[in-house]
């Protein structure tokens, strides 16, 4: 285990996105803040309670999830993909860094960015609605678990992608629809059939509801179901990514 | 083409055995076997696409070999692919840079990747050696092309590797840097570092290398001590110009000599079984021919490379 090598890669990844905070932290923060203003304050004022909660606090966990998942994914995917395009990935492949170290280095950096954006989004929410944190342990587990899963998924996308169009495929055609249909702005209980049943196949629903359980104290599904799904996804994504990196898939000739 | 088996090397730091790399229908490396000894400068020569970069890539972890074995510092890379790489540095052929960091930060990161703590004295030493001190705090994206290549070299050396691969290290750099780098490579050797060099500037290989390997179409055609190779395959030429046209040459010059059409020039190429160039020169003056100017030319590595690539190589 090259511990210093891992620490160096992790620290490099964090410093990389902190060099451009306007793009990596401020920009997503403004986007999610606008959701609060448009959906929460403007439209939400005319809406009834959702699953026993006023609308504005109801959307806070989903928006924290949205900012965190997107930014964790974007950090690992863009960082490795840019290294591939610019040729600096050679430095990593030649260095005595194993697949595990490369995985943890990129994922660690991406998790830090995801969590910073998620927590800042939560901070913005406090401008509009009081703090609610009913189950701190569950909240922390879902925050960290979600950031981890999307960081690893971003790494898979970066390994696979060879063109800019491909690196944009996953966030645009997979993540965006699934997050918007994942119960961020509504409860899946409100959906008529068949959309209610269709939504049950969207893994993001369980992550959003898990965070909602942690922050607000209630959710549509048992939190353990969301936790188990998150753990299974984390394990599967980790195994796939480790195998890809160890094989040098689309990284080595 | 006759294959010249490389001689075994004492205390090899790198041993490559029957290395094969196939890309679908293309055989990039076709059973390459090679040993590189500790502290030597080895030049790997060959045309574009010959397999030089693929061979280096297979050793450094950039290329997945199809078959064969590679031992680095005595360790089989199939058993431990990472351990020996703490001692290896690579200057890749393509210039790359991380635009988010300064020159010094890039070197600190490189040290960290190789398990070394930040070492400001070492960084300053490498920056000085590569004339980058003034750019220590510059963003890498602001560097000129030549400076970026200097940084690549600095990154490959900052962790004090025992084996350095320089893949076309002076492509596109000015003469000054090329000379600086030659000096630095000699210093590295003096410190016991082994250097494997590929280059299009054969003058560079001639200047630096202890041994030379010639590779073409994935096959290693020859590995030999540079001086022995030049002595064995090198030729001397006499190029003579006359004050006035000469109709015919005396008999002593007929073998190996070519008289120009206008009779005002003569080229004599020294060949086995024919008089040595010095003897011909002596006879030339004794013959009373109207000699105006005489120039002697010794074969360079470039001539030898062309001979080998065209299948005119003679086994030692």
Residue A173 pLDDT > 90: no
Residue A75 CA to residue A110 CA, distance in Å, equals 5
Question: A87 and B83: CB-CB below 8 Å?
Answer: no
Size of interface A-B (CB pairs under 8 A): 84
B210 & B269 share domain = no
Q: For tokens 């990844």, what's the residue?
A: A13
Residue B87 pLDDT > 90: yes
B92 & B19 share domain = yes
B48 by Cβ neighbours in 10 Å (0-12 / 13-18 / 19+) ranks as exposed
Residue A42 and residue A33 in contact, taking contact as beta carbons nearer than 8 Å: no
Residue of B61, B99, B116 with shortest CB distance to A94: B61
B239 & B138 share domain = no
Cα-flanking dihedrals φ and ψ of residue A131, to 5°? Answer: -65, 135
Residue of B94, B115, B117 with shortest CB distance to A2: B115
B24 & B99 share domain = yes
Domain final residue, candidates B231, B260, B286: B231
Residue B255 pLDDT > 90: no
Residue B38 lies in a domain: yes
Structure tokens belonging to residue A165: 């169009």
Structure tokens belonging to residue B81: 């692919």
Residues from chain A that touch B117, judged by Cβ atoms under 8 A, are: 4
Residue B19 lies in a domain: yes
Question: B97 and A86: CB-CB below 8 Å?
Answer: yes
Residue of B95, B113, B117 with shortest CB distance to A91: B113
B98 & B247 share domain = no
CATH number for position B264? 3.30.70
Domain final residue, candidates B209, B231, B253: B231
- For A68-83, what is the mean pLDDT? 93
Residue of B115, B117, B155 with shortest CB distance to A96: B115
pLDDT band at B49 (very low <50, low <70, confident <90, very high): confident
B163 & B293 share domain = no
Most confident of A32-36, A91-95, A177-181, B179-183: A91-95
B195 & B250 share domain = no
Domain final residue, candidates B208, B231, B254: B231
Residue of B62, B86, B117 with shortest CB distance to A96: B86
- For B170-185, what is the mean pLDDT? 81
Residue B7 has a pLDDT of 58
B222 & B250 share domain = no
B72 & B188 share domain = yes
| Residue B35 near chain A (CB below 8 Å) | no
Residue B316 has a pLDDT of 44
B179 & B243 share domain = no
Q: How far is CA A185 from CA A30, A49, A182, A188, A205, in A?
A: 17, 12, 8, 10, 11
Residue B6 lies in a domain: no
Least confident of A77-81, B106-110, B261-265, B310-314: B310-314
Residue A22: CA count within 13 A, CB half-sphere: 0
Residue B310 lies in a domain: no
CATH number for position B41? 3.40.50.300
- For B59-81, what is the mean pLDDT? 93
pLDDT, averaged across chain B: 84
Domain span including residue B260 = 235-298
Least confident of A137-146, B126-135, B198-207, B208-217: B198-207
Residue B304 lies in a domain: no
A4: closest chain B residue by CA: B115
| Residue B53 near chain A (CB below 8 Å) | no
pLDDT band at A51 (very low <50, low <70, confident <90, very high): low
% residues pLDDT > 70 (chain A): 96
Residue B307 lies in a domain: no
Residue B223 pLDDT > 70: yes
How distant is the Cα of A75 from the closest Cα of chain B, in angstroms?
14
Cα-flanking dihedrals φ and ψ of residue B32, to 5°? Answer: -80, 130
How distant is the Cα of A100 from the closest Cα of chain B, in angstroms?
12
> The complex's ipTM?
0.86
- For B146-163, what is the mean pLDDT? 92
Residue B315 lies in a domain: no
Residue A194, preceding bond cis, omega within 30 degrees? yes
Residues from chain A that touch B96, judged by Cβ atoms under 8 A, are: 86-88, 90-91
DSSP 8-state class, residue B243: S
- For B77-103, what is the mean pLDDT? 91
B188 & B271 share domain = no
Question: B85 and A95: CB-CB below 8 Å?
Answer: yes
Question: B64 and A90: CB-CB below 8 Å?
Answer: no
Residue B213 lies in a domain: yes
B127 & B256 share domain = no
Number of domains in chain B: 2
pLDDT, averaged across chain A: 89
């Amino acid at each position: 285990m090259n511990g210093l090598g891992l620490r160096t890669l992790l620290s490099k990844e964090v410093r990389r996105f902190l060099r451009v905070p306007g793009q990596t932290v401020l920009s997503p923060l403004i986007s999610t803040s606008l959701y609060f203003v448009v959906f929460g304050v403007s439209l939400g004022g005319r809406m009834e309670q959702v699953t026993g909660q006023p609308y504005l606090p109801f959307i806070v966990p989903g928006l924290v999830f949205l900012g965190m998942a997107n930014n964790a994914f974007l950090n690992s995917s863009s960082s490795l993909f840019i290294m591939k395009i610019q040729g600096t990935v050679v430095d990593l492949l030649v260095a005595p860094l194993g697949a595990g170290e490369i995985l943890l280095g990129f994922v660690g950096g991406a998790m830090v960015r995801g969590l910073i954006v998620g927590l800042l989004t939560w901070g913005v929410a406090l401008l509009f609605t009081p703090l609610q944190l009913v189950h701190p342990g569950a909240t922390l587990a879902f925050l960290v678990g979600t950031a981890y899963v999307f960081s690893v998924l971003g790494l898979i996308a970066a390994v696979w992608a060879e063109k800019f169009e491909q690196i944009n495929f996953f966030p645009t055609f997979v993540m965006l629809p699934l997050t918007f249909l994942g119960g961020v702005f509504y409860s899946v209980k409100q959906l008529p059939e068949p959309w209610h049943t269709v939504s049950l196949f969207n893994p993001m629903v369980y992550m959003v509801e898990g965070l909602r359980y942690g922050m607000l104290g209630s959710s549509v599904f048992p939190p353990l179901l969301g936790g188990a799904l998150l753990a299974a996804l984390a394990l599967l994504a980790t195994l796939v990514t480790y195998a890809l990196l160890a094989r040098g898939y689309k990284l080595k000739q | 083409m006759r294959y010249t088996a490389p001689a075994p090397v004492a205390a090899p730091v790198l041993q490559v055995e029957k290395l094969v790399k196939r890309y679908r229908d293309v055989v990039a490396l076709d059973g390459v076997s090679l040993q590189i000894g500790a502290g030597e400068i080895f030049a790997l020569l060959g045309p574009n696409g010959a397999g030089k970069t693929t061979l280096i890539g297979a050793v450094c972890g950039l290329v997945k070999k199809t078959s064969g074995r590679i031992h680095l510092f005595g360790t089989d890379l199939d058993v431990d692919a990472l351990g020996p790489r703490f001692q290896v540095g690579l200057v890749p052929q393509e210039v790359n840079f991380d635009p988010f960091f300064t020159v010094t930060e890039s070197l600190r990161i490189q040290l960290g990747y190789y398990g070394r703590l930040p070492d400001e004295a070492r960084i300053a030493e490498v920056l000085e050696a590569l004339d980058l001190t003034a750019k220590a705090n510059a963003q890498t994206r602001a560097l000129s092309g030549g400076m970026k290549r200097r940084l690549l070299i600095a990154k490959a050396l900052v962790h004090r590797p025992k084996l350095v691969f320089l893949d076309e290290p002076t492509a596109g750099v000015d003469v000054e840097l090329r000379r600086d780098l030659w000096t630095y490579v000699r210093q590295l050797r003096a410190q016991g570092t082994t250097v494997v060099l590929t280059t299009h500037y054969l003058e560079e290989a001639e200047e630096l290398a202890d041994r030379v390997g010639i590779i073409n179409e994935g096959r290693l055609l020859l590995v030999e001590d540079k001086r022995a190779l030049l002595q064995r395959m090198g030729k001397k030429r006499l190029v003579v110009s006359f004050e006035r046209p000469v109709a015919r040459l005396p008999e002593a010059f007929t073998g190996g000599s070519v008289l120009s059409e206008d009779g005002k020039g003569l080229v004599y190429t020294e060949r086995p079984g024919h008089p040595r160039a010095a003897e011909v020169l002596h006879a030339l003056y004794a013959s009373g021919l109207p000699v105006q100017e005489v120039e002697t030319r010794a074969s360079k590595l470039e001539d030898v490379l062309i001979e080998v690539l065209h299948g005119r190589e003679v086994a030692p």
